């Protein structure tokens, strides 16, 4: 089977592993500096695989040599948010962790595609790209899928409709300036703006922006993991199975939507190469302005990476 390595055996990493093993998508290596945690969770999942009837094998380790030959590397390692802490507050803490994980993973698996989950997400994806020096197609941040799922869930709950009939899209940075896009959000093809008042829609957009913080405040310790882990696993599936799903992900904009020198959430087609295509959709003037503002905030934090000396020359 193909191999997927997950760097970080915390709640998010373990959930990514669970979803991959449950679906029998690949063999999994779960790596953590706490080898006992990685091995213990891997053993638990190996036993669960017997119940699921999954052929996937899973190994826990702290040695990057065990990740050699991975098709996909998922980076979840880092510190989670705590109450009162923004994703951007994590920048200095997590940058050194992610850059080391990227460097060692790339050395072991030079052809791997990278799915980045660690916050602040968009900046960490940029850091992985610069650290590894791989094609921009091969570094994808998990952000828009999670934020869109939250928007989708809130719309379905408010309207009292099946969540499976709701399609929602959130672009921009994975932070307070993310951009829910009502013009690209529908219920079985019907625009959400025709099904609720603009005030209600604005409230749902705001709740989506604060979706992660809402969970952090309730948990008190740690942050969300079920939805982020499931979102990352769906990206792995799209890459391994070359399904070419159109999903909002954090990618190197490369001039699309007028954005340069920044990773931001945009609609992309995911396949075996990673990013097969960035899709440009028609946005309203206000949506495009919000996207530009969100990208500007990300760019500011990328500049902070340079100030910290964490970018490769």
Residue 313: per-residue pLDDT = 54
Residue 309: per-residue pLDDT = 77
What confidence tens digit (pLDDT) does each residue in 135-190 have?
999 999 998 999 999 999 999 999 999 999 999 999 999 988 999 999 999 999 99
- Distances 302 to 125, 143, 222, 275 between C-alpha atoms, Å: 10, 17, 25, 21
What confidence tens digit (pLDDT) does each residue in 258-276 have?
999 899 999 999 999 999 9
227 upstream amide cis, omega within 30 of 0: no
135 and 150 share one domain? no
134 and 153 share one domain? no
- Boundary-marking domain end, from 86, 117, 141: 141
Strand ranges inside 134-222, DSSP E: 139-141, 166-167, 170-171, 179-180, 186-187, 190-191
What are the beta bridge partners of residue 265?
Answer: 172, 250
Residue 250: per-residue pLDDT = 97
Tokens encoding 202: 């604005």
134 and 163 share one domain? no
- Distances 168 to 154, 159, 232 between C-alpha atoms, Å: 10, 14, 17
Q: Phi, psi (5° rounding) for residue 39? A: -70, -40
| CA–CA gap between residue 295 and residue 246 (Å, rounded) | 21
| CA–CA gap between residue 75 and residue 118 (Å, rounded) | 7
Residue 81: per-residue pLDDT = 67
- Boundary-marking domain end, from 116, 141, 166: 141
293 and 148 share one domain? yes
Q: What positions carry a catalytic annotation?
A: 174
Residue 27: per-residue pLDDT = 98
79 and 188 share one domain? no
Torsion angle (degrees, nearest 10) of CA 102, 106, 109, 112: 70
Rg (CA), the chain: 19
The alpha carbon of 157 is separated from its chain's Cα centroid by a whole number of angstroms, namely: 24
Q: Phi, psi (5° rounding) for residue 197? A: -70, 160
63 and 154 share one domain? no
88 and 166 share one domain? no
| CA–CA gap between residue 151 and residue 205 (Å, rounded) | 7
Residue 277: per-residue pLDDT = 97
Q: Could you give the number of structural domains in the chain? A: 2
| CA–CA gap between residue 85 and residue 232 (Å, rounded) | 23
| CA–CA gap between residue 241 and residue 49 (Å, rounded) | 20
283 and 150 share one domain? yes
Phi/psi class of residue 64: alpha, beta or left (left: φ > 0; alpha: ψ in -120 to 50)? Answer: alpha
- Boundary-marking domain end, from 141, 165, 198: 141
Q: 224 lies in which domain range?
A: 144-303
95 and 149 share one domain? no
Q: Please tell me the number of Cα atoms within 13 Å of 160 on its side-chain side.
A: 0
CATH of the domain at 42: 3.40.50.720
Give the chain's residues under pLDDT 70. 81-82, 85-88, 312-313
CA-closest candidate to residue 257, choices 276, 280, 275, 277: 280
Residue 220: per-residue pLDDT = 87
179 and 233 share one domain? yes
Whole-prediction pTM value? 0.95
CATH of the domain at 179: 3.90.110.10
88 and 158 share one domain? no
């Amino acid at each position: 089977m193909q191999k997927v390595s997950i760097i970080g055996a915390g709640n998010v990493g373990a959930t990514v592993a669970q979803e991959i093993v449950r679906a029998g998508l690949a063999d999994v290596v779960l790596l953590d500096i706490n080898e006992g945690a990685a091995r213990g969770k891997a053993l638990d999942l190996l036993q669960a695989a017997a119940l699921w009837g999954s052929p996937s094998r899973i190994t826990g380790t702290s040695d990057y040599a065990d990740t050699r030959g991975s098709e996909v590397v998922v980076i979840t390692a880092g510190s989670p948010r705590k109450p009162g802490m923004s994703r951007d507050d994590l920048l200095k803490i997590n940058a050194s962790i992610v850059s080391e994980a990227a460097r060692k993973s790339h050395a072991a698996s030079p052809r791997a595609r990278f799915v980045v989950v660690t916050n602040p997400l968009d900046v960490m994806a940029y850091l992985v790209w610069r650290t590894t020096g791989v094609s921009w197609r091969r570094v994808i941040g998990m952000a828009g899928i999670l934020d869109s799922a939250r928007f989708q869930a809130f719309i379905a709950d408010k309207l009292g409709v099946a969540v499976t009939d709701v399609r929602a899209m959130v672009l921009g940075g994975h932070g307070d300036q993310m951009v829910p896009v009502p013009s690209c959000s529908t219920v079985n093809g019907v625009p959400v703006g025709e099904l609720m008042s603009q005030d209600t829609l604005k409230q749902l957009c705001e709740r989506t922006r604060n979706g992660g913080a809402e969970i952090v405040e309730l948990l008190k310790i740690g942050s969300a993991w079920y939805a982020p882990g499931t979102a990352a696993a769906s990206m792995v599936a799209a890459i391994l199975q070359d399904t070419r799903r159109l999903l909002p992900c954090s990618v190197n904009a490369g001039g699309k939507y007028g954005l340069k020198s920044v990773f931001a959430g945009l609609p992309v087609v995911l396949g075996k190469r990673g990013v097969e295509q960035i899709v440009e959709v028609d946005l309203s003037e206000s949506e495009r302005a919000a996207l530009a503002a969100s990208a500007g905030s990300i760019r500011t934090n990328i500049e902070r990476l340079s100030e910290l000396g964490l970018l490769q020359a």
